[in-house]
Chains A and B, each alone.
Chain A
Amino acid sequence: MKKPYLRAKSAFSIDEYPDSASFTAGYLTTSNGGWRSLRPRPDASKCVMCGQCYLHCPDGTIYLDDATGSYAVDLDFCKGCGICARICKPRAIAMIPESAV
């Protein structure tokens, strides 16, 4: 799966700036995880694999983890909005306070 990803280089010398307001697509230098006060915790045992959480995430942070065969959350970019937990019919996603993690 391809998506924009974090790059090591975020500072540029004057010679390194692009010569137009045009640059590599999907170039990220900061994450969004720090915005979160609640974190989604999927419970694979309750999950019916309907994929509604994945579809409805405004940030595209829920993905099918090939290793486990379950849905997982990219916590670097999840903002903790809770749409996934709310859309989940079997209530397989709990929103846990970050302070409790």
Chain B
Amino acid sequence: MSGREFLSGNDAFAIGVCLARPRVISAYPITPQTVVVERLSEMAENGSLDVDFIHVESEHSALSCAIGASAAGVRTFTATSSQGLLYMAECLPYASGGRFPIVMMNANRSIALPWNIYGDQSDSLSQLASGWIQAYAQDAQEALDLALMSFYIAEHPKVSTPYMVNLDGFHLTHTYEVVDIPDDSLADEFLPPYRTDAGIDFNAPKNMAFSAGPGHNAAFKYRQHAAMLRVRDVVTEAEARFAGIFGRRYSGLTEAYMTGDADYIIVTLGAVSGLCRDAADALRARGVKAGVLRIRYMRPFPGDEIARELRGAKAAAVLEKDISVGNAGAVFTETAGVTDTPLSNYIGGLGGEDIAEADILEIFDDLRAGRGGVRFLGIKERIDEESR
């Protein structure tokens, strides 16, 4: 399966999952995730993937079933999007609290109402507290690579925590790019079969997914939190291993682009990052010290990295595709908690709205002019004035 191919983000991700050789997949179709489950179904049918593909009757069952398979101690995958993610929401903390290292692809999509099938990040960003590792891919290559790395990180004995890989709906899931496909044997070398002694065991039976009352509950949550914080080091380890085998390098929880000496920085995540870098390049050409900080992981939250990269900047803006109604974007709120750099918030791309390079340049202009607050791209009224 190795070589270079022109693939959509969904296709690339499906190939990455295939290379990871999960034994159980349970999934329910939802736009724009469908291509992933269709490709994986084809792979199961033609024998390139030895997997039990379970066609469940809902997303709630998709994750409930995946938890069961993971409890049996085998590598497990599911995929969803938007309303589907919310429908399975009950099972998210269930999977993480039980420390079941399931990998899920989420095709980032808007949340009803109003109904909308296009991309934004409202779905996954509403689930930051669910205990899942959350990564955001920026292109199809990274999507494929994260499909492989996510299993390595989720199943790592120091982590044992479920992992959600986010791909911007349509902008990434349905956009075609040239992608390097790793060789099967190298993929196997990177990611050995999953082995655990935490699963169902007939020689040493277990009682699992139990209750823990007031005297014990906090201890479980504390240990879960500690495991999530260990993800940072395991990401470093996984990326070094990945670079050693495949030659492609990744930069941990964030990716900094010309932030070192930057006066003005846009903090963002997902597929729009490339556009932001283009805008920064254009500004640099005009002598403006612009930079971009791409958040690759929202969980664990890269607070240290963000604080370090924003230090010394005159102003920064968080550009994100969600709004926590009544406050601000979720990424902005978290970022504001770790930096003293003046920070503003741009809500864009909602319901698949295009973000143009001109929009990014305007954000940099606002930063240079000292304009702050929370703004919706494409809406000229300012929310802070509106509310007076």
A21, B212: Cβ atoms under 8 Å? yes
- Mark interface residues in B76-117 (1 if CB within 8 Å of A CB, else 0): 000000000000000000000111100000000000000000
Assess whether A20 is in contact with B212, with CB atoms less than 8 Å apart: no
Q: Say whether A22 contacts B98, CB under 8 Å.
A: yes
Contact A20 B98 (CB under 8 A): yes
User: Is there a chain B Cβ closer than 8 Å to A35's Cβ?
Assistant: no
Q: Of the candidates A21, A24, A25, which one forms a contact with B220 in the assembled complex, judged by CB atoms under 8 Å apart?
A: A21
Residues of A within 8 A of B99 (CB): 19-22
CB pair A22 B160 closer than 8 Å: no
CA distance A50 to B198 in the complex (A): 42
Q: Is the CB of A24 within 8 A of B207?
A: yes
Proximity string of chain B (131-174) to chain A, C-beta cutoff 8 Å, 1 when within and 0 when not: 00000000000000000000000000000100000000000000
Give CA–CA (A20, B131) in the complex, Å.
Answer: 13
30 intermolecular pairs with C-beta atoms under 8 Å apart: A12-B216, A12-B219, A14-B222, A17-B216, A17-B219, A17-B220, A19-B160, A19-B198, A19-B223, A20-B98, A20-B99, A20-B100, A21-B98, A21-B99, A21-B209, A21-B210, A21-B212, A21-B220, A22-B98, A22-B99, A22-B206, A22-B210, A23-B206, A23-B207, A24-B204, A24-B207, A25-B206, A25-B207, A26-B205, A27-B207
Chain A, interface SS category: loop
* CB pair B216 A22 closer than 8 Å: no
- For B206, list chain A residues within 8 Å (CB): 22-25
Cα distance A19–B99 in the bound complex, in angstroms:
8
At the interface, yes or no: B358 with Cβ under 8 Å from chain A? Answer: no
Q: Does B227 contact A (CB under 8 A)?
A: yes
Known contacts: A21-B98, A21-B212, A23-B206. The answer to whether A14 contacts B220 by CB under 8 A is no
Within 8 A of B (CB), among A20-45: 20-27
B208 at the interface (CB under 8 A from A): yes
- List chain A positions with a Cβ less than 8 A from chain B: 12, 14, 17, 19-27
- Leading 7 A-B pairs by shortest Cβ distance: A20-B99, A25-B205, A22-B208, A17-B219, A25-B207, A21-B98, A22-B206
Given that A12-B216, A17-B223 are known contacts, is A22 also in contact with B204, CB under 8 Å in the complex? no
Which chain A residue shows the least CB distance to B209?
Answer: A21
How far does the alpha carbon of A27 sit from the alpha carbon of B207 in the complex, in Å? 9
Question: Complex formed: what's the CA distance from A69 to B219 in Å?
Answer: 46
B160–A20 touching, CB < 8 Å: yes
State the Cβ distance, A81 to closest chain B Cβ, in Å. Answer: 24
8 other contacts beyond A20-B98, A22-B207, with CB at 8 A cut-off?
A14-B223, A19-B198, A20-B99, A21-B98, A21-B210, A21-B220, A25-B206, A25-B207
Once A17-B219, A17-B223 are accepted as A-B contacts, the answer to whether A23 and B210 lie under 8 Å apart by CB is: yes
Within 8 A of A (CB), among B197-248: 198, 204-210, 212, 216, 219-220, 222-223, 227
Please give, as numbers and ranges, the residues of chain B lying within 8 Å of A26 by CB-CB distance: 205, 207
Question: Are A21 and B205 in contact (CB-based, < 8 A)?
Answer: no
Q: What distance in Å separates the Cβ of A88 from its nearest Cβ neighbour in chain B?
A: 33
Give the residues in chain B near A21, CB-CB below 8 Å: 97-99, 208-210, 212, 220
Are A22 and B198 closer than 8 Å at their CB atoms? yes
Could you tell me the distance between the alpha carbons of A21 and B212 in the complex, rounded to whole angstroms?
8
Max chain A Cβ within 10 angstroms of own Cβ: one of B207, B210, B212: B207
Contact B223 A22 (CB under 8 A): no
- Distance in angstroms from B247 CB to nearest chain A CB is 34
User: Which residue of chain B has the shortest Cβ distance to A4 in the bound complex?
Assistant: B207
CA distance A22 to B210 in the complex (A): 7
Q: How far is the CA of A17 from the CA of B209 in the complex (A)?
A: 14
In Å, the complex CA distance between A14 and B209 comes to: 18
A1 and B216 CA atoms in complex are apart in Å by 31
